[in-house]
């Protein structure tokens, strides 16, 4: 993505803490983004509707509304990427925000590099969703791993990796969303359907098998990372 593309992207920041608002605004302006800010949930929802931003950064702890309600309201009419800014290290809450329809989260305090990476990933995903049918999605490629969706082939250093059907579905779900965290609940429902038991043992077992097949050292993965208490995130495709 070049600078010209970036400069056209508008980001709405919904955050009540003034110092964080000004820090994020300055950082993003310096990167060429156009930034709009709101200090309350009500104002944030209003601006989302009137200005149609490309990404929304949402603080979960706002004075007038519960962050989860904001996400739910947004999701009734827009698929704009929502990145939750959470001060709390509460994994349950982050997972809940993702399951309500947020795309990703970032925990305070965060680095500028981290923030920009999350925004880039979200923008990339939303543009892919709008102009690329899944069938024509370009292959996943990172380090030695390649996944070719059209012919269902996964290779590591050029050698074909044999995966079960479930393992393939699981790996490609993560790869198609590479760079983004996917919650256990989301993955379980996508792979095993809505009536699956919410015990995620079956997911862990399958993930362990995938890691044995694709990771040099499954304890220090290069491709699929565990977000403790939340889910998994696959390394972003090159």
Residue numbers at the binding site for Ca ion (CB under 5 A): 16, 59, 61
Q: Could you tell me the maximum CA-CA distance found in the chain, to the nearest angstrom?
A: 55
Q: Which is nearer to Ca ion, 55 or 58 (CB)?
A: 58
- Alpha-carbon distance of 139 to 38, in angstroms, equals 39
- Please say which residue, 88 or 92, places its beta carbon nearer to Ca ion: 88
Report, in Å, the least distance between residue 62 CB and Ca ion.
6
How far apart are CB 16 and Ca ion at their closest, in Å? 5
- Tell me how far, at minimum, the Cβ of 180 lies from Ca ion, in Å: 24
The residue sitting closest to Ca ion, measured at its beta carbon, is 61
Residue 84 in contact with residue 104, Cβ under 8 Å?
A: yes
Nearer to Ca ion, 20 or 117 (CB): 20
11 or 123: whose CB is closer to Ca ion? 11
Nearest approach in angstroms of CB 59 to Ca ion is 4
- Residue in 191, 192, 183 with CA at minimum distance from that of residue 228: 183
Please, what is the Cα angle at 45 between 15 and 68, to 5 degrees? 70
Strands (E), 54-107: 55-59, 82-86, 104-107
């Amino acid at each position: 993505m070049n600078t010209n593309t970036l400069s056209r992207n508008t980001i709405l920041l919904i955050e009540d803490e003034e110092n964080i608002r000004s820090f994020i605004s300055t950082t993003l302006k310096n990167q060429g983004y156009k930034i709009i800010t709101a200090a309350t949930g009500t104002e944030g929802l209003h601006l989302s509707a009137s200005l149609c931003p490309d990404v929304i950064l949402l603080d979960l702890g706002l004075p007038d509304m519960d962050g989860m309600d904001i996400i739910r309201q947004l999701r009734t009419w827009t698929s704009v990427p929502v990145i939750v800014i959470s001060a709390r290290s509460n994994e349950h809450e982050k997972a809940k925000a993702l399951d309500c329809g947020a795309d990703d989260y970032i925990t305070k305090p965060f680095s500028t590099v981290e923030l920009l990476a999350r925004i880039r990933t979200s923008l990339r995903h939303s543009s892919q969703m709008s102009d690329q049918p899944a069938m024509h999605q370009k292959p996943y490629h990172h380090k030695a791993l390649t996944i070719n969706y059209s012919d269902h082939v996964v290779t590591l250093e050029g050698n074909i990796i044999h995966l079960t059907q479930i393992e393939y579905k699981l790996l490609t779900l993560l790869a198609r969303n590479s760079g983004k965290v996917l919650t256990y609940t989301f993955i379980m429902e996508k792979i095993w359907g809505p009536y699956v038991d919410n015990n995620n043992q079956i997911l862990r077992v399958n993930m362990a098998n995938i890691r044995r097949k694709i990771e040099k050292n499954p304890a220090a993965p290069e491709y699929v990372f565990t977000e403790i208490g939340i889910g998994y995130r696959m390394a972003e495709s090159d």
